[in-house]
Amino acid sequence: MSRCSHCGVEILDDTEHCPLCHSVLENTGKGKMTYPNVFHKIKKINFLFRLFLFLAILFGVAAVSVNVTFHPEIWWSMIFIAAEVYGIIMLYLFTKDTGYRIRIIVGIFGFLLFDILADRITGYAGWSVNYMFPTAILLANLAVLLLVLINRRNWQSYLLFQLGVVLFGLVGIVFVFLGWITLPILSEIACSVSILVFLGMVILGGRTARSEFQRRFHI
């Protein structure tokens, strides 16, 4: 490890010059301040996350208190708390720098679960499964297409993700047969789009798609 006497930072690389001021480095022992210094940024992000968590608990308790005191017939505070939990989870995923696929899955389908809960608490009119469920599937298809366009060199890595979207689309069809979805047209469209996108990736991908499946499933 080397140290820049001008900037006062420790350099982890084997370079002979400081990446900040280009001065000649001098050898030193292990130090607390290194380049790049990310510890301060991580500490600040963690503090903001803990602050958000504390405020969420504070406002959640306040919402339950108001709900019980003035509107006990409808537990709208549970919707408020569910929204806070969703926000905390998404904030955690971003602060921990998780993969974008996990963020998309949790973001879309977490929002769907929130809608179903809100629908149930407010008397269940069916809008969560009739409209929001297929809409979430269509958004997932759109996300896959955008990721493929953005990362064309590694597009095959989204095949498994799209296969999961197809499975969710088929779940919607099962809900139709069970009678849980009373307006099947959107669910049928969402399932059809999911299958078409998946088949398009497989057929147009050719050998690359087959190799990805062999790598994933060892077939």
- What tokens were used for 175? 């809900």
**Cα dist. 169→2, 45, 69 in Å?**
56, 37, 42
- Rounded to 10 degrees, the C-alpha dihedral 57/58/60/63 comes to 170
Mean local confidence (pLDDT), 184-209? 93
Per-residue pLDDT at 187 exceeds 80: yes
pLDDT exceeding 70 applies to what percent of the chain?
82
pLDDT tens digits, residue range 128-172? Answer: 999 999 999 999 999 999 989 988 888 888 898 899 899 999 999
**Cα dist. 35→9, 24, 41, 131 in Å?**
6, 15, 13, 51
Among 79, 86, 85, which Cα is nearest to 64's? 79
Among 30, 33, 41, 36, which Cα is nearest to 9's? 33
> Under a CB-based contact definition with an 8 Å cutoff, are residues 190 and 169 in contact?
yes
Collapsing DSSP states into helix, strand and coil, what is residue 121? Answer: helix
Q: What is the pLDDT of residue 13?
A: 62
pLDDT level of residue 191 (50, 70, 90 thresholds): very high
Looking at per-residue confidence, does 176 or 30 come out higher?
176
Sign of the four-CA dihedral 1, 16, 18, 8: positive
Separation between Cα atoms, residue 216 and residue 196, nearest integer Å: 21
Of 37-51, 89-103, 153-167, the range with the lowest mean pLDDT is 37-51
Q: What is the pLDDT of residue 106?
A: 85
Per-residue pLDDT at 66 exceeds 90: yes
Mean local confidence (pLDDT), 75-86? 91
pLDDT level of residue 40 (50, 70, 90 thresholds): low
Q: What is the pLDDT of residue 28?
A: 60
Mean local confidence (pLDDT), 185-214? 91
pLDDT tens digits, residue range 100-138? Answer: 778 888 888 888 889 989 998 888 888 999 999 999 999
Q: What is the pLDDT of residue 14?
A: 61
Per-residue pLDDT at 205 exceeds 80: yes
Q: Cα angle vertex 215, ends 157, 219, to 5°?
A: 130
| Strand ranges (E), the chain | 2-3, 10-11, 26-27, 34-35
Separation between Cα atoms, residue 23 and residue 8, nearest integer Å: 11
DSSP-derived letter for residue 17 is B
Q: What is the pLDDT of residue 97?
A: 67
Rg (Cα) of the chain, in Å, rounded? 25
